[in-house]
Amino acid sequence: MNIETVIYCRLNMTVTSNELREQGNQAFKQGKYQEAIDRYTEAIQLLANNQTDELTKCLSNRSQCYLNLNQYEEAIDDATRGSIYLFVRSFENSVFSKHWNSHQLIRNRCTDEQQHSND
């Protein structure tokens, strides 16, 4: 199979990041760590930065593959990157939640004051 055929097949085959992660999981279970790394890498390339759950799964899995291949720097890089995504997401959720709760409290207070002034 030549490169043009491979590219054509790739362009005409729609694969989701979740499917690629699952293919990576299967390769990992079979001890095919480099193949798993390749699938996780493809999945990561498809994902947007706001898809933190899927990104962290792929990064964590790929980190374990690197660890099994004694590629420690790559393993640490992926583990660190995954941790950062989780930290940022939890921070954003926390900040958004506090902001939303404050907004709701202020809105309720304004509504209560309007009702009292209308009485």
CATH number of the structural domain spanning residue 58: 1.25.40.10
Helices (H), 1-119: 3-11, 17-29, 33-46, 52-68, 72-118
15 belongs to a structural domain: yes
DSSP string of 68-97?
A: HTT-HHHHHHHHHHHHHHHHHHHHHHHHHH
The reported pTM is: 0.67
Report the C-alpha gap between 81 and 67 in whole angstroms. Answer: 15
How do residues 39-88 score in pLDDT, each as one tens digit? 999 999 988 766 788 899 999 999 999 999 999 999 999 999 998 888 87
Does residue 101 have a pLDDT over 80?
no
Total of domains in the chain: 1
pLDDT value, residue 66: 96
71 belongs to a structural domain: yes
What range defines the domain where residue 23 resides?
Answer: 3-85
Q: Which two tokens stand for residue 45?
A: 């390339």
Does residue 116 have a pLDDT over 60?
yes
Tokens 């990104």 correspond to: 55
